[in-house]
C-alpha cells in the first residue's frame, strides 16, 4: 500500500536523517585529525544539526551550500584553535600555502574534497521526509543539539557557562561559527591593546644582552648571537625546565661565561616573538611593515650603529611570512635561508616545515660566521625550525634515553620528540660556546611562544604567558649581567 510505504519511509527518516547529520559533517575532522595534527575540541558540530533542521524545509541546493560553509568553518576554527591563530592571521597566511610541503597540501586538498562529497551526500542523496515527519525529524535534531549542549554544561565544558574544573578533557559539542566570532572579538581586543602600546618597550631577553654591551669594559666588542628557539615554552614543572638547560651548569661553561636565566612575556606566535626580541615591541605582525622611525629602534639598526655586521639565519624559505623582505628593511646586511644553506651542503630535516637541520646551522654559524677573523663584530640572529609543531619522531637525532627519566616525557611521544629537538638546539649552542675564537661571543637563547600542542593536558604543562631564556656573557672582571625576571616563572 502506498500509504504504508510512505509511513515506513517516514519512520526510517526519523532515525536515518538525524544519524546522518550527526555523523557525516564531522567525518572530515575525524578522518584527518591525525594527518593535520588538529585538536577537535569537540566531537559533534551542533550547528550542523541545526542545518539539518533547516534542510527538511529548504531546497537541497541551499542545504548543500549551508553544509559546505558550516563544515569549512569547523575546519578553519580547528586550525585557528590548534595553532592559536586569529582568523585574520589565518586568512593572511593562505597565500603561503604553496610553500607548504607537498604532503601537507595534499592533505588539505583531500579534506576539502571530502567536505564537498559528504555535504553533497547529505544534501542530495538522503530521502527527505514528507508531511508530518518533517516536523518530527526537525524536533529530533533540535532536541539532540539541546541534549549535547546540556551534557557539556553539566560537565563544565560549555564555554558560555564554564566551571573551574571539568570531568573530561574534551567537550562533546563544537559551534564553529560562534567560536570563530568569539575568537575574532578576543583577538581584535588584543590587537587594539597592542596597537595602543606599540610604542612602549616590551620586556625581552635581548634587552639583557644590550645591557651587557653597555656595561662591558673590554675595548673589543664581542659577537652577539641571538637564537629564537621555535616553540620553546616555559615548563610549569621546574624539574623539566631545568632538564632542558642543565648543560649550561657544566664547569667548562661556568669557567668562560656568566650564565643568566629568566623569562619574557610572549604575545603570540613566532612573528610577534621576533618583534619582541628584535625591536622590544608589542607590534606583533606589524613588524612586517614598520615605519623608518620604528626600524631605527630595532636591533639591526642599533648594532649597525655600533659597528656590527648584521646577519639573519633561518632554515626555511625566506618567502614564508615575507621574512626575506622585512629582514632586509629592518637592516640585516646578510640573510641566509634554507635554499642558500642547502647549496652550501647543509643537511635537510623533515618536520612540519622541512628545512635545514638546526644542528647543521649551529655548526655552520660557528664555522663560518664566528670563526672568521674580521674587523667588524657580528650580530647573528637565528630562528630555529625543527621543533615547529606538529613534531614527528626526530629520526635524524642519535638515539638517547633522555625521556625515560621523566614520566611526562615517557608517556607522550610528541612531548618527548619536542623535548629532544629543543634540547638539541641548546646542546649545539653549548658546543659553540666552548669553541675557542679570536673574538668573544654573547649568546642569547629565548623561546618564541609556548608549544601549541593539540592535547590540552600537554598545553597545561607550559606557562600561557611567559617563555624562558638563557644568556651567556663572557667573563670579564669589569662587567657583569644580572639575571632578569619578566613576569615570573
Looking at residue 156, its pLDDT comes to: 65
Q: What is the C-alpha separation between 324 and 310, in angstroms, rounded?
A: 14
Q: How many residues does the chain have?
A: 489
Q: What is the C-alpha separation between 139 and 375, in angstroms, rounded?
A: 80
For the residues of 249-261, what is the DSSP string, one character each?
GSHHHHHHEEEEE
Quick check: helix, strand or coil at residue 152? Answer: helix
Ranges of residues in the chain with a pLDDT under 70 are 1-15, 32-40, 82-84, 92-93, 95-104, 125-127, 155-170, 190-201, 216-219, 372-374, 476-489
Please choose, from the candidates 109, 106, 29, the residue with its C-alpha nearest in 3D space to the C-alpha of residue 73. Answer: 29
Q: What is the C-alpha separation between 61 and 70, in angstroms, rounded?
A: 14
Pairing mode of beta strands 223-229, 173-174 = unpaired
Q: What is the C-alpha separation between 384 and 277, in angstroms, rounded?
A: 14
Q: What is the C-alpha separation between 304 and 328, in angstroms, rounded?
A: 13
Q: How many CB atoms lie within 10 A of CB 475?
A: 13
Q: What is the C-alpha separation between 223 and 370, in angstroms, rounded?
A: 7
Looking at residue 96, its pLDDT comes to: 64
Q: Which domains does the chain have, with CATH numbers?
A: 2-191 (no CATH), 199-474 (3.40.720.10)
What residues pair up with 227 in beta bridges, in sequence order? Answer: 382, 445
Instruction: Give just the sign of the alpha carbon dihedral 304, 331, 187, 48.
Output: negative
Looking at residue 481, its pLDDT comes to: 40
* CB-based contact 59:87 (threshold 8 Å): no
52: cell is: 539539518
Residue where the block lists cell 633522555: 402
* CB-based contact 166:63 (threshold 8 Å): no
* CB-based contact 9:127 (threshold 8 Å): yes
What residues pair up with 83 in beta bridges, in sequence order? Answer: none
Residue where the block lists cell 624562558: 468
Amino acid at each position: 500500500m502506498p500509504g504504508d510505504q510512505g509511513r515506513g519511509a517516514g519512520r526510517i527518516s526519523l532515525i536515518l536523517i538525524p544519524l546522518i547529520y550527526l555523523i557525516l559533517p564531522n567525518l572530515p575532522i575525524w578522518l584527518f585529525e591525525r594527518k593535520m595534527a588538529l585538536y577537535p575540541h569537540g566531537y559533534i558540530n551542533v550547528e550542523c544539526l541545526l542545518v539539518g533542521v533547516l534542510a527538511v524545509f529548504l531546497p537541497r541546493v541551499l542545504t548543500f551550500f549551508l553544509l559546505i560553509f558550516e563544515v569549512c568553518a569547523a575546519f578553519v576554527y580547528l586550525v585557528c584553535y590548534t595553532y592559536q591563530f586569529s582568523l585574520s592571521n589565518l586568512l593572511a597566511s593562505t597565500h603561503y600555502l604553496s610553500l607548504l610541503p607537498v604532503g601537507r597540501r595534499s592533505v588539505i586538498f583531500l579534506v576539502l574534497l571530502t567536505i564537498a562529497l559528504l555535504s553533497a551526500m547529505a544534501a542530495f542523496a538522503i530521502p527527505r521526509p514528507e508531511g508530518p515527519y518533517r516536523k518530527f525529524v526537525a524536533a529530533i535534531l533540535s532536541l539532540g543539539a539541546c541534549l549535547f549542549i546540556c551534557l557539556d554544561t553539566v560537565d563544565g565544558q560549555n564555554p558560555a557557562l564554564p566551571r573551574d574544573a571539568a570531568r573530561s578533557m574534551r567537550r562533546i559539542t563544537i559551534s564553529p561559527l560562534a567560536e570563530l566570532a568569539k575568537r575574532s572579538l578576543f583577538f581584535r581586543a588584543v590587537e587594539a591593546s597592542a596597537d595602543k602600546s606599540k610604542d612602549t618597550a616590551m620586556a625581552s631577553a635581548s634587552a639583557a644582552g644590550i645591557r651587557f654591551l653597555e656595561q662591558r669594559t673590554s675595548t673589543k666588542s664581542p659577537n652577539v648571537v641571538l637564537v629564537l628557539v621555535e616553540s620553546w615554552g616555559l615548563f610549569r614543572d621546574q624539574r623539566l625546565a631545568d632538564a632542558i638547560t642543565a648543560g649550561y651548569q657544566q664547569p667548562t661553561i661556568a669557567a668562560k661565561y656568566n650564565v643568566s636565566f629568566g623569562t619574557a612575556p610572549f604575545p603570540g606566535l613566532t612573528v610577534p616573538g621576533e618583534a619582541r626580541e628584535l625591536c622590544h615591541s608589542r607590534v606583533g605582525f606589524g613588524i612586517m611593515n614598520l615605519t623608518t622611525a620604528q626600524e631605527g629602534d630595532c636591533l639591526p639598526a642599533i648594532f649597525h650603529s655600533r659597528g656590527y655586521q648584521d646577519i639573519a639565519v633561518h632554515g626555511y624559505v625566506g618567502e614564508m611570512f615575507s621574512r626575506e623582505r622585512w629582514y632586509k628593511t629592518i637592516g640585516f646586511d646578510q640573510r641566509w635561508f634554507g635554499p642558500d644553506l642547502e647549496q652550501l651542503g647543509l643537511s635537510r630535516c623533515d618536520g612540519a616545515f622541512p628545512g635545514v637541520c638546526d644542528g647543521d646551522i649551529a655548526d655552520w654559524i660557528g664555522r663560518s660566521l664566528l670563526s672568521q677573523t674580521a674587523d667588524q663584530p657580528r650580530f647573528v640572529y637565528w630562528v630555529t625550525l625543527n621543533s615547529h609543531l606538529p613534531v614527528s619522531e626526530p629520526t635524524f637525532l642519535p638515539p638517547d634515553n633522555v625521556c625515560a627519566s621523566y614520566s611526562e616525557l615517557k608517556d607522550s611521544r610528541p612531548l618527548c620528540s619536542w623535548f629532544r629537538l629543543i634540547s638539541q638546539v641548546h646542546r649545539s649552542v653549548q658546543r659553540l660556546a666552548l669553541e675557542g675564537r679570536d673574538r668573544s661571543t654573547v649568546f642569547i637563547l629565548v623561546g618564541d611562544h609556548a608549544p601549541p600542542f593539540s592535547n590540552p593536558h600537554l598545553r597545561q604543562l607550559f606557562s600561557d604567558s611567559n617563555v624562558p631564556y638563557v644568556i651567556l656573557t663572557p667573563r670579564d672582571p669589569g662587567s657583569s649581567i644580572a639575571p632578569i625576571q619578566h613576569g615570573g616563572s
